Amino acid sequence: MMNNSRRQFLKQAGIGISAAYLVPNFISCQNKAGAISDNPLQNIGVQLYSIRDLMDKDPKGSLEQIAKIGYKHVELYGIDAAAKQFWKLPYKELKKILDDNGLKTHSGHYDMAKYLSKVHTDKEDIAVYFDAAKELGQEYVIAPVTPMFDLNALKKDDYLYAAEQLNKAGEQAKKLGLKIAYHNHFWEFRDLGNNTTGEEVMLAFTEPDLVDFELDLFWAEKAGKNPIALFEKFPNRFKLWHVKDMDKTKSNPIEWPKDGNLPIEQIFNDIKYTEVGTGSINFPEIVKEKNKSGLKYAFVEQDNIDMPNKMESLKISYDYVQANLTK
């Protein structure tokens, strides 16, 4: 069964897919003078999906609390493009709340599942995403997930088509001073044959001047991939990171192809998130290679927060980053 918050997220994001194909847990820096820090971790942001229930109830108050913790920017999700709103806030009103709290938004997750799917003709209108991004002052329009109709069946040709579509979107975005990026989960790292993965297909067949990638460090690690090895193979392509930690009780990586042949829903039974710095991911080692990655913006994200006080959870992650990843 899919939890209610996940259903609500998918509804907000406009992802029109059958619940039968869904999994319960997928789907995500500037200083005061406006200059980009040498270390984007100093000015880390947060993906607001981490506190989606709080954002639904009180977006203004939640953003105020995020700013008080010390976060400098936020990554959006869940656009209502028809109403031109996020969390029932018109773009201009949301921008004012962000400005009033010293927050920026450099990026947002915008549903492109059908746009990236070679079997769907009812593509999302990505022009409305560009309009939102421009009005909010964002730099990146991010595709948060692959085509969702059957994640277990995606083949190399599907990823080749997705790469072609990302390039097309990137060309449109570039004319507007924007850039497209793609955010991974674990299934993009499934072996498609000849030691090729969907993530690598998209990296190889997208144009670097048109398409960047947002590396979710948790999902890469869960897929058994070393982020540093990815930076070495594809330098300067991972301009954005999701800094998400893995609970030590469920830190075993997916075993390909054995586990990879399981239904994706079953793989999620071995997933547990935790506050950054309290889990099994060696962030200090990864951060040493941030320049090779091309890192520009980083975001704390925790898909499910178990602590009763979710803002306290975000503060734990923030404090760890500042104490350990900013030198």
- pLDDT averaged over consecutive 10-residue blocks of the chain (327 residues)? 40 37 40 54 97 98 98 98 97 98 98 95 96 98 89 90 98 98 95 90 98 98 97 98 97 84 81 97 98 98 97 98 95
pTM: 0.89
Burial zone of 17 (CB within 10 Å; 0-12 exposed, 13-18 middle, 19+ buried): middle
The C-alpha atoms of residue 163 and residue 63 are separated, in whole angstroms, by 34
Provide the pLDDT for residue 152.
Answer: 79
Provide the pLDDT for residue 194.
Answer: 84
- 21-25: list long-range contacts, CB under 8 Å, 24+ apart: 21/148, 21/149, 21/150, 21/151, 22/148, 23/151, 23/264, 23/265, 23/268, 24/265, 24/268, 25/268, 25/271, 25/303, 25/304
Provide the pLDDT for residue 257.
Answer: 77
Q: Which uninterrupted H or E stretch holds 274?
A: strand 273-274
Per-residue H/E/C for 60-90:
HHHHHHHHHHCCCEEEECCCECCCCEECCEE
The C-alpha atoms of residue 112 and residue 126 are separated, in whole angstroms, by 8
> In the chain, what percentage of residues exceed pLDDT 90?
78
Provide the pLDDT for residue 303.
Answer: 97
The C-alpha atoms of residue 260 and residue 300 are separated, in whole angstroms, by 27
Classify 193 in phi/psi space as left (phi over 0), alpha (psi -120 to 50) or beta: left
Which residues make Cβ contacts (< 8 Å) with residue 6, sequence separation at least 6? 22, 24, 25
Provide the pLDDT for residue 26.
Answer: 43
Provide the pLDDT for residue 116.
Answer: 97
